[in-house]
Structure 1
Amino acid sequence: MAGGGNADSRSLEQTPTWAVAIVCLGFVLISILIEQAIHFLSKWLKKRKKKSLGKALDKIKEELMLLGFISLLLAVGQKPISEICISKGLGDSLLPCSKEKVLAEHVFDQIGKFLIPGQHRKLLFLEASETPLKRSLATEEPVTGHCAKRGKVPLISQDGLHQLHIFIFVLAVSHVLSCIAIMTLGWAKVKKWKSWEEETKALDYEVSNDPLRFRITRETTFGRRHMSFWSTTPILTWIVCFFRQFVRSVPKVDYLTLRHGFILAHFAPHSKFDFQRYIKRSLDNDFSVVVSISPHLWFYVILFLLLNRHGWFTLFWLSFIPLIILLLVGTKLQVIITKMALDIQDRNPVVQGAPVVKPNDQLFWFGRPQMILYLIHFTLFQSAFQMAFFFWAWYEYGLKSCFHKRVQDIVVRISLG
């Protein structure tokens, strides 16, 4: 590269010292600002006694450290990996895009360079900043390159490794931002329940839930909502609960009933326990789980990169997975509340005071409530992955590339995300 004729590929031997110093200064200043911002946020969370959010911040710092190691390995191993040669037949297998389409786009791009300067875009296997004589159409390797001399192609070219480097960075940033956005919306929703919590301290609430008052279970507000002809048929129950999640996932009567059952299970009957604050702390704990990218999620990324073959439409079908999981989890939670209501009816058709629900782990899939959180974690990551892949492909190859052939595909993926 040092002796190359391309002025855009100068080495540090041919680069002004002031240019190197300015670029290094910029990276150092940005790194220091990020480090100080994280340190300030950590101290602020400790001062506010937000231990769960502090754990979440530690998870974010771990992700940044992992990202730094990946960046270092990609930078150091860029040249050795690009010199690993494979046969042309093996190099043309399981391509994410049609080879004929890439070649056609390449020819069109080269014509556009001469006819309409500045209007061409990046191609899948050709950088827009290099001349057409520098690279081969299919291999992106110079004719005199290490693998070209042997009649082979590189396992991954240096340009491909650079693009992979960018994708991993975009994925990590997208996942953290999506988790922050989702949890912010969750906190906003929990904040709306504060007014309901305040009502429990009023005299009207104590009168309406007088422990000396006897009522038929079905005649209570909670019973009328969940005990009907459809609640005794499993199929109808799932259908009704599926549509209920779109109207109001947590109505006031469900909140107050679940609150009452939780307090009776852990505290004195007339305790003034702040259930809404407890929900906030639980949400903080959940955030420390979902903000991390666990190893099995990284393996999911690798599996997707393997199966993203041209003609399999893997990218399109995987876009529906977060939506399906989201609807399934929302329906299951509604079904659980309905089953707890039916359990009250089975225990006693007449209640004294407010209905008392008894949560049971067996109401969840495989008796594991944590599975709901794992599914939410995977849903957030999958959604972030889809959005990251979209913006990365847009940045690298343009809006209309082989990854997004039709406008309908773009609309579907953005809408589902």
Structure 2
Amino acid sequence: MAGGGNADFRSLEQTPTWAVAIVCLGFVLISILIEKAIHFLSRWLKKRQKKSLGKALEKIKEELMLLGFISLLLTVGQKPISEICISEGLGDSFLPCSKEEVSAESVSDKIEKLALLGHHRKLLFLASEIPLRRTLARDETEDGHCAKKGKVPLISQDGLHQLHIFIFVLAVFHVLSCIVIMTLGWAKMKKWKAWEEETKTLDYQYSTDVSRFRYTRETTFGRRHMSFWSKTPILTWIVCFLRQFVLSMSKVDYLTLRHGFILAHFAPHSNFDFQRYIKRSLRDDFSDVVSISPPLWFFAILFLLLKRNGWFTFFWLSFIPLIILLIVGTKLQVIITKMALDIQDTNPVVRGAPVVNPNDQLFWFKRPRLILHLIHFSLFQSAFQLAFFFWAWYEYGLESCFHKQIANIVVRVSLG
């Protein structure tokens, strides 16, 4: 090659100053634009008095700062970490892909590249080029720090670079998935606005008039939740499990929960907008789930540890978020049913609308926020699955050892 050396590995002393200046200018401008956009959005949320969304934005800024520190540490520690040596036996343990698969992929990549080049003597060139490539790779390894000791690096510099990219992709996918899920939640609650407006009509005022006495079982809420199946725990869980697929929140459940909340905190027949309160609560929860807490980072490390060849870890791990969400959805339906049964036990005859009594005793371990933590974990796990898939696709292609079977890919992506 003209000029000597490999042009793909030129140092800054061999790079034009205008190229360095242009690249630096691009990074600086992009960073300034992102910083100004976040600052403008923060001021806009503060002006609109969106405190919960402002808190969520602060959590996102904290994540960006954490990613910056991780990026800095990976960049600075790239060479020292790559010089940590381990034995070859230890380096060959818990491999995500077998050596035979990696070697086959390397040869197939070479054949594909030669086919695209249309070389007339591609087979002969391949036979001579592959040993040459192995010789060069072996020479580079033998000249390395660990090869001189008869060992292998803990993580190579290329591996650290790929890990760097994966951490960034994971954080981006987690934030985007939380935004999408919360947006869908707000869209779903729009139809509750019509139910909220209905509470201002004369028909609703008449149905909740305290001068009307009815048996609890004869109310719409009672007929929905008080039946033969509600007396057996197993049947209760089965019915509640199936209900979440049909209608996660029915109109009668919404109106009953609204009525009980208002009676507990305000005067009867108050004009309190319960739907707006639910939306505000969802924004508060969004500020919690949008962040990646330390336990979630440890779970991500555990998932990477379990990605061992032959274990199919990521396949069965992809079912965990779905199972968690189905259990949580069933539990919430069971809680509403238990509140209905409590009304019947304490007061068989109601005046106006049934009055539910939500309390911490109805939740697992008497901790309502455990439900939120489980949802947070399931969102992160789904984002992890999607991030790992697209990262592996970007780094190694769809035909790599990470994507051995099409059915596996379809299941993981669809569940995510």
Task: Please name the residue that 2:81 is paired with.
Answer: 81
Letter of the 2:204 counterpart: Y
Select the structure with the greater relative contact order (CA < 8 A; seq sep ≥ 6). Answer: 2
How many residues matched? 405
Task: Please name the residue that 2:25 is paired with.
Answer: 25
Q: Give how far 1:142 is off.
A: 3.3
Kept in 2, the 8 Å contact 1:95–1:309? The answer is: yes
Kept in 2, the 8 Å contact 1:135–1:141? The answer is: no
Letter of the 1:312 counterpart: W
- Listed one character per residue, the Cα deviations across residues 126-160 of structure 1 (whole Å, up to 9, x for unaligned) are xxxx9985667998953322222222111111100
Letter of the 1:92 counterpart: D
Task: Please name the residue that 1:303 is paired with.
Answer: 302
Alpha-carbon spacing, 1:364–1:267, altered in 2? closer, same or farther (3 Å) = same
SS at match of 1:193: helix
Task: Please name the residue that 2:12 is paired with.
Answer: 12
Letter of the 1:111 counterpart: I
Q: Distance in 2 between matches of 1:23 and 1:179?
A: 32
Q: Distance in 1 between matches of 2:17 and 2:321?
A: 50
- Structure 1 gaps, min length 5: 120-129
SS at match of 1:215: strand
State whether structure 2 residue 203 is matched by structure 1 residue 199.
no
Task: Please name the residue that 2:68 is paired with.
Answer: 68
Map 1:328-407 onto structure 2 (within 5 A): 328-407=327-406
Map 1:3-402 onto structure 2 (within 5 A): 5-117=5-117, 133=132, 142-402=141-401
Kept in 1, the 8 Å contact 2:82–2:153? The answer is: yes
Letter of the 1:154 counterpart: P
Task: Please name the residue that 2:124 is paired with.
Answer: none
Q: Give how far 1:67 is off.
A: 0.2
Kept in 2, the 8 Å contact 1:212–1:352? The answer is: yes
Identify, as 1 or 2, the structure richer in helix: 2
SS at match of 1:351: strand
Q: Distance in 2 between matches of 1:269 and 1:353?
A: 11
Q: Distance in 2 between matches of 1:172 and 1:74?
A: 16
Letter of the 1:77 counterpart: G
Q: Distance in 1 between matches of 2:137 and 2:400?
A: 17
- Listed one character per residue, the Cα deviations across residues 314-371 of structure 1 (whole Å, up to 9, x for unaligned) are 1111100000001000000000000000111101111110000000211110110000
Q: Give how far 1:105 is off.
A: 1.7
Q: Give how far 1:276 is off.
A: 0.9
Alpha-carbon spacing, 1:133–1:293, altered in 2? closer, same or farther (3 Å) = farther
Letter of the 1:397 counterpart: Y
Letter of the 1:207 counterpart: Y
- Listed one character per residue, the Cα deviations across residues 207-244 of structure 1 (whole Å, up to 9, x for unaligned) are 12111001111111101100110010000000000010
Q: Give how far 1:115 is off.
A: 3.6
Q: Give how far 1:204 is off.
A: 1.3
Q: Distance in 1 between matches of 2:61 and 2:139?
A: 36
SS at match of 2:189: helix
Alpha-carbon spacing, 1:216–1:193, altered in 2? closer, same or farther (3 Å) = same
Q: Distance in 2 between matches of 1:391 and 1:140?
A: 33
Letter of the 2:212 counterpart: R
Q: Distance in 1 between matches of 2:284 and 2:118?
A: 51
Alpha-carbon spacing, 1:4–1:100, altered in 2? closer, same or farther (3 Å) = farther
Q: Distance in 1 between matches of 2:18 and 2:264?
A: 69
Alpha-carbon spacing, 1:140–1:219, altered in 2? closer, same or farther (3 Å) = farther
Q: Distance in 1 between matches of 2:93 and 2:136?
A: 16
Q: Give how far 1:113 is off.
A: 3.3
Q: Distance in 1 between matches of 2:206 and 2:380?
A: 46
Q: Distance in 1 between matches of 2:42 and 2:188?
A: 25
Once structures 1 and 2 are overlaid, which stretch shifts more, 78-87 or 385-394? 78-87
- Listed one character per residue, the Cα deviations across residues 236-270 of structure 1 (whole Å, up to 9, x for unaligned) are 00000001000110011000000000011111112
Task: Please name the residue that 1:124 is paired with.
Answer: none
- Listed one character per residue, the Cα deviations across residues 156-205 of structure 1 (whole Å, up to 9, x for unaligned) are 11100000000000000000000000111111122221111111111111
Q: Distance in 2 between matches of 1:87 and 1:34?
A: 44
Letter of the 2:17 counterpart: T
Q: Distance in 2 between matches of 1:98 and 1:138?
A: 19
Alpha-carbon spacing, 1:402–1:189, altered in 2? closer, same or farther (3 Å) = same
Q: Distance in 1 between matches of 2:383 and 2:415?
A: 11
Alpha-carbon spacing, 1:299–1:4, altered in 2? closer, same or farther (3 Å) = farther
Kept in 2, the 8 Å contact 1:141–1:157? The answer is: no
Q: Give how far 1:107 is off.
A: 2.4
Q: Distance in 1 between matches of 2:95 and 2:373?
A: 32
Kept in 1, the 8 Å contact 2:105–2:400? The answer is: no
Kept in 2, the 8 Å contact 1:140–1:157? The answer is: no
Say what the alpha-carbon RMSD is for the aligned residues: 2.0
Alpha-carbon spacing, 1:113–1:337, altered in 2? closer, same or farther (3 Å) = same
Percent identity (aligned): 83
